[in-house]
Amino acid sequence: MNVDPTARFSTLCIHAGQEPDEATGAIITPLYQTSTYVQEGLGRHKGHEYARTSNPTRSAVEANIAALEGGTTGFGWASGMAAINAVLTLLEPGDHVVVTDNTYGGTYRLFERVLRKGGLDFTYVDTSDVEATVAAFTDRTRMLFLETPTNPVLRLADIAALSAAAHARGDITVVVDNTFASPAVQQPILLGADIVLHSTTKYLNGHSDSVGGMVVVTHAAHAEWLKFYQNAAGAILSAFDSWLILRGTKTLAVRMEAHNRNGQAIAEYLAQHPKIDRVHYPGLPAHPQHALAQQQMRGYTGMVSFDVGTLERARGVLERVRLFALAESLGGVESLISHPASMTHASVPAERRAALGVTDSLIRVSVGIEDVDDLRADLEQALSVL
């Protein structure tokens, strides 16, 4: 039942990395909820010694997501932030990283308040501008860290062009946080990136019941180090979370079709609403990078953000919605609504948020897969207070 690695995406979602259980024939990968494994003798075991080092359920989801991203090897972590931290351990003190300026607030916090203390240097640039990004490279630049679409204003980076420019320098690793898109929408490795990472908590899991992270690599040296670091540092993805994510990726293709469809419909509804100042969504022709979105994405996801003008107006909407749940996170089957300035990006200084367009009046929605007419009706009644 080995799946052909050239199989189409929806087939890989269901079969890649997974075989029927040898002991029972179970079609679903078992949850190996164990801390250790009995060995047949000194130096003789069945491929697993201790669960921090390896676990069959974790190995299955690592192989599954690596296949979905077109990479060679996957590594599961306890959270998306643990995944990002792991990737940055590929660098040495004194190395320089060019980073998407409108990156997730938790990423900014990790880079500025933790990793900078360890000797890494970071420059934040609008990576939607290829020339400005390349101009930020220095002799010490060893990594280009892209987030595309960005959180929460949904700017895009031209992955192919930036990867080519970075690789022309010979020693710059291109990393893409693909959490907002998922491999169903965008596959950065196939566009030239070296490493892709995810908060699996979001679209990959899809059911808001698991926290985890994943790193997918293409180079043997990166795989060798991350395998060592995963065992040495121990911030591993648990067996149960691995099992939950495997359940999620089986329906990733069909879920993302629904997210894309609903996201487009809600973005179009908001764009014509007279009380909304601005809508951010790559699927709208008015988006400044709509052409790039058509080129490197397959659909535009369920992430939409919009500005209602003032904090008080935003509070009125956020507290009036009924179907959209006021909560952090994204990518679940249920629709969520959030206030980036005080929630996901609270760790970013206010003046920096303002420069990036993360205003106090900005609202972000993660559009779920409910009936879109019900979602529109909920927003309509919430916006009626404006």
pLDDT tens-place string over residues 344-385: 888 888 888 988 889 999 999 999 999 999 999 999 999 998
What's the burial of 305, exposed, middle or buried (CB within 10 Å: 0-12/13-18/19+)? Answer: buried
pLDDT at 346: 87
pLDDT of residue 355: 87
Domain 253-384 fold is: Aspartate Aminotransferase, domain 1 (3.90.1150)
The predicted pLDDT at position 233 comes to 97
pTM summary value: 0.96
311-316 CB contacts, 8 Å cutoff, 24+ apart: 311/360, 311/361, 313/361, 313/385, 313/386, 314/339, 314/360, 314/361, 314/362, 314/363, 315/339, 316/382, 316/385, 316/386
Segments of the chain with pLDDT less than 70? 1
Whether 104 sits among the annotated catalytic residues: the reply is yes
Q: Are 136 and 122 in contact (CB under 8 A)?
A: no
The domain segmentation of the chain, as residue ranges, is: 9-248, 253-384
The CATH code that applies to domain 9-248 is 3.40.640.10
Give me the residues paired with residue 97 across strands: 122, 143
Q: Which of 247, 240, 246, 241 is nearest to 33 (CA)?
A: 240
Q: What is the pLDDT of residue 1?
A: 52
Q: What pLDDT shows up at residue 379?
A: 98
Catalytic one of 32, 104, 124, 203: 104
373 catalytic per annotation: no
Supply the pLDDT for residue 328: 93
User: Which is catalytic among the residues 158, 177, 194, 360?
Assistant: 177
pLDDT digits over 133-171, tens only?
999 999 999 999 999 999 999 999 999 999 999 999 989
Question: Any catalytic annotation for residue 177?
Answer: yes
Catalytic residue among 58, 142, 202, 353: 202
| Residue given tokens 């643990």 in the structure block | 82
Q: Identify whether 46 is a catalytic site residue.
A: no
**Nearest one of 340, 117, 110, 364 to 213, comparing CA atoms:** 110
The residue annotated as part of the active site, out of 52, 109, 261, 298, is 52
pLDDT of residue 385: 83
Place of tokens 């995944």: 83
Whole-number pLDDT of residue 208: 97
